[in-house]
């Protein structure tokens, strides 16, 4: 695992950033909230990278941190002291996974108890963390006897991955435990990626061309988007390589047909929407049922200088549809997110086994509702950021069995992914991209 380097701060700011991280982690630990809307403005600007690392890193290693905390405490904290528990986890994370000097990790974490109005916990935290310093080796060996702890995933996730991918499940878990790279999508309306790669030389940002996406660049190290040349002018966006393949798959349908009518059925946060508009001169309608996320799509398109017909709409219904068929539909379906755990480590804690069947039922309803909106001869691209067959190959197989005018046109022999029923599956353990599934379906015209 990468070991971020952070110098020690002054006691006040050092304690403040650890207290803020603990507060942010409490909803995740309790299964009531996520890190998706993490507000890093509650700490001073120089501490924001440390704040994010404490939150995401602790979340990524949560199974192991909690197992170690259980060994260090004589008895668990009471539920009302979940913030103290979170501080302890943050302290353990620093000692085991970061290059922060141990005296700073212990002292500033224990001192942060005063900032959450629990000064009594200072002594407890100090004692637990100092014991971990002394007994780190034996304690880690003891908790790692449990495979779920050693692989940093709850048991049900390990079982699901093992059943789905018997030869790859361990590699998938290991990939999930690493931070994802920062990948860019170059806006083809302003030039190609080779030209943009040359522009990155000036601010000395290292990058390489993606293997599979013609617009993709992966940075050697993540950076603030403000450092990227032309970001505000719309020259480039942040998007994983696997997600960029959606527009490529729709290319044979859209490239020869300027003005084609296209639906992006679950469009937020808008990366695929923007990519389609960057590549093709189409009439694009984009809907989403979440107004907050829809506003993000609007902001993205505004920055890129692109236009689409954005509307609030539930893709399981048709009350937003004007009755005119679409030539192409992109259904980026709600899913478990099992292919993007490395970017959203809270998924490991927040998802439940029962969620998978509920999501599969929703995906089936979306497919059945949208298919009649497709013109004869039109194409529907089904996509998820999942690696579970129930949401992918099995889902599409069931749809084909009940939809006689649907035929598969998913490309074969491409360099990315592997065959998975009627589609292709990308795993997060290969080529640095996220886990994704794609199936391209055509409606027969006769």
Q: Greatest CA separation found in the chain? A: 76
Compute CA distances 334 → 198, 212, 263, 316, 437, whole Å.
37, 24, 16, 12, 12
**Positive/negative CA dihedral, 312, 313, 318, 323:** positive
Triad 120, 60, 389: Cα angle to 5°: 140
Residue with tokens 């129930």: 390
59, 128, 335, 385: which is the annotated catalytic residue? 385
Active site residue 385: yes
Chain centre to alpha carbon of residue 46: 25
Q: Cis link prior to 269 (omega < 30° from 0)?
A: yes
CA pair distance 110, 18, nearest whole angstrom: 9
What's the number of CA atoms in the CB half-sphere (13 Å) around residue 357?
2
Beta strands in 269-373 (DSSP E): 283-288, 309-312, 326-332
Distances from the Cα of 213 to the Cαs of 94, 246, 258, 415, in angstroms?
A: 36, 10, 22, 11
Q: Where are the beta strands (DSSP E) in 187-315?
A: 207-209, 216-219, 236-238, 261-264, 283-288, 309-312
User: Parallel, antiparallel, or unpaired for β 236-238 and 261-264?
Assistant: unpaired
Sheet holding 216-219, edge to edge: 207-209, 216-219, 183-186, 236-238
| Residue 324 DSSP code | P
How many angstroms separate the CA atoms of 224 and 238, rounded? 11
Q: Rounded distance, CA 301 to CA 312, Å?
A: 16
The answer for residues whose C-beta is within 8 angstroms of residue 122's C-beta and 6 or more apart is 110, 111, 113, 114
Q: Residue positions in the annotated binding site for S-adenosyl-L-methionine?
A: 266-272, 288, 314, 332
Question: Mind giving me the DSSP string for 380-412?
Answer: EEEEES---GGGTHHHHHHHHHH-TTEEE---S
What residues are paired with 332 via a beta bridge?
Answer: 383
Six-digit token string for 145: 């006897």
Residues annotated within the binding site are: 266-272, 288, 314, 332
Q: Of 154, 168, 183, which Cα lies nearest the Cα of 426?
A: 168
Our measurement of the distance from residue 331's CA atom to the centroid of its chain's CA atoms, rounded to an integer in Å, reads 18
Q: Kindly list the catalytic residues.
A: 385
């Amino acid at each position: 695992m990468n070991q971020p380097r952070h110098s020690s701060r002054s006691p006040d700011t050092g304690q403040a950033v650890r207290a803020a991280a603990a507060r942010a982690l409490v909803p995740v630990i309790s299964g009531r909230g996520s890190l998706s809307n993490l507000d890093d403005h509650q700490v001073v600007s120089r501490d924001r990278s440390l704040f994010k690392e404490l939150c995401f890193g602790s979340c990524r290693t949560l199974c192991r941190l909690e197992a170690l905390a259980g060994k260090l405490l004589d008895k668990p904290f009471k539920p009302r002291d979940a913030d103290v528990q979170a501080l302890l986890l943050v302290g353990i994370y620093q000692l085991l996974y970061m290059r922060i000097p141990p005296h700073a990790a212990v002292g500033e974490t224990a001192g942060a108890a005063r900032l959450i109005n629990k000064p009594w916990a200072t002594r407890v935290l100090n004692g637990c963390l100092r014991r971990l310093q002394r007994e780190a080796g034996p304690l880690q060996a003891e908790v790692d006897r449990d495979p779920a702890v050693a692989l940093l995933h709850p048991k049900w996730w390990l079982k699901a991955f093992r059943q789905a991918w018997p030869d790859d499940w361990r590699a998938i878990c290991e990939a999930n435990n690493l931070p994802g790279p920062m990948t860019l999508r170059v806006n083809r309306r302003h030039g190609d990626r080779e030209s943009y790669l040359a522009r990155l030389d000036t601010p000395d940002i290292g990058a390489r061309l993606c293997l599979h996406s013609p617009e993709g660049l992966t940075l050697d190290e993540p950076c603030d988007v403000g450092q990227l040349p032309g970001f505000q002018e719309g020259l480039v966006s942040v998007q994983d390589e696997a997600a960029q393949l959606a527009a490529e798959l729709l290319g044979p349908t859209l490239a020869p047909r300027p003005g084609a009518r296209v639906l992006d059925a679950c469009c937020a946060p808008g990366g695929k929407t923007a990519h389609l508009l960057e590549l093709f001169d189409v009439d694009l309608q984009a809907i989403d049922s979440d107004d907050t996320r829809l506003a993000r799509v609007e902001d993205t398109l505004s920055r890129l200088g692109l236009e689409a017909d954005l509307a609030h709409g539930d893709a399981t219904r048709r009350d937003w549809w004007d009755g005119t068929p679409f030539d192409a539909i992109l259904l980026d379906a709600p899913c478990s997110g099992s292919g993007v755990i490395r970017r959203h480590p809270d998924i490991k804690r927040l998802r439940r086994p029962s969620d998978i069947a509920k999501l599969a039922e929703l995906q089936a309803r979306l497919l059945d509702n949208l298919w009649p909106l497709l013109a004869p001869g039109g194409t529907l691209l089904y996509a998820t950021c999942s690696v579970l067959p129930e949401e992918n190959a099995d889902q599409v197989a069931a749809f084909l069995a009940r939809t006689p005018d649907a035929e598969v046109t998913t490309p074969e022999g491409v360099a990315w992914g592997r065959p998975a029923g009627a589609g292709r599956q990308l795993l997060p353990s290969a080529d640095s991209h996220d886990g994704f599934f794609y199936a391209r379906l055509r409606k027969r015209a006769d």
